[in-house]
Chains A and B, each alone.
Chain A
Amino acid sequence: MLGEALKGHLDLLLLAILSEGPAHGYAVIESLRQRSGNLFDLPEGTIYPALHRLENQGLLRSHWSEDSLRRKRIYQLTPKGQGALSKRQEEWKKFSEAVNATAGI
């Protein structure tokens, strides 16, 4: 149930995590898990199609890092991605305020 609800907002969460700095997929999913207190516990592999889509949309860019023992694909927010993040944060704020007001929370 929570997983399904989360899917609709995954783009916002991924963009928000990457707004704090470049990171590879494993670090992104770890951050997602930790920041949500383990509530957002998606199958880790499901974030990669979303990351690739955001990259295809020009909201992220990526490169392969060779500076550790293992090659890692590092993602970072583009200026267009920063703009998209601000817009989605604003939309979410309005939406959540409306839900809270309606539900009496």
Chain B
Amino acid sequence: MQRREFEMKDDRIQAYLRALEHKLWLRGSSNPEIMAEIESHLLESVEAGRRQGLNVEEAEQQALERFGSVKVIANTFEKERMNWMQNILLGIAVLAGLFFAYVDSRPTWDDTGILAGGLLLISGLLTLLGHRKPWLIALAVGIWIPLHDIYLSHDFRLLLVLLFPLIGAYGGWAVRLGIRKTLHLA
């Protein structure tokens, strides 16, 4: 019923909702409940405008202006989602780093190339997914191996291992930035 009611109205609000849904989808924040809630809000706002004496077109214009531009609203939703995701991504980074350090500490393990590739890839993936601080991800993933080895050997040159997660993290961050610019999300 709500959809039919909505379709009877000018397609300006419909176009706004489609544009917003698309932007939210591109940012991974699209959700039918969110869209239903926004639609309900806009229709109520149009009705309020009509009660103030505006015609349909003016009331819709006012409702959309008050609600905010598609870009502003999509950015606000994305910002909230990414704030929530930061700690989860950091937690995954720490767990992955501890796992790599555990594998590296096994006496039977001697494939440094796979380990370096793993540090690089997981760091890159986590910043590609949206962590905003590449240096922090690199540290969270990469610090455990040198810490363990320095404890045993007192050789601080082992800190060079951090280069792999640093390259990966900044690489993932740069790719994400490029994708966002290409899709006009930045």
Give A residues with C-beta under 8 Å from B. 24-26, 43-46, 48-50, 52-53, 56, 69-73
Contact = CB atoms under 8 A, between A and B. Distances in A.
A24 B42 CA distance: 12
Contacts, number: 62
A71 B40 contact: yes
Contact of B80 (A25, A45, A53, A69): A53
Given A45-B38, A45-B72, A48-B37, A70 B77 contact: no
Given A46-B72, A53-B80, A70 B2 contact: yes
Given A49-B79, A70-B5, A70-B43, 6 more contacts: A26-B40, A45-B76, A52-B34, A70-B40, A71-B2, A73-B40
User: In the complex, which of the residues B40, B41, B69 has the most CB atoms of chain A within 10 Å of its own CB atom?
Assistant: B41
Interface of B: 2, 5, 33-34, 36-38, 40-41, 43-45, 66-69, 72-73, 76-77, 79-81, 83-84
B44 A26 contact: yes
5 contacts: A24-B40, A43-B73, A44-B41, A44-B67, A46-B72
Contacts of A43: 66-69, 72-73
Name the prevailing secondary structure of the A interface residues: helix
B5 A45 contact: no
Nearest to B70: A45
A45 B36 CA distance: 13
B34 A44 contact: no
A70 B41 CA distance: 10
B80 A52 contact: yes
Contacts of B43: 70
A23 to B, nearest CB: 12
Contacts of A73: 33, 36-37, 40
Contacts of A53: 80, 83-84
A26 B80 contact: no
A71 B69 CA distance: 24
4 closest A-B pairs by CB: A43-B68, A49-B80, A45-B73, A45-B68
A48 B84 contact: no
Contacts of B36: 71, 73
Nearest to B63: A44
Given A43-B67, A43-B68, A48 B34 contact: yes
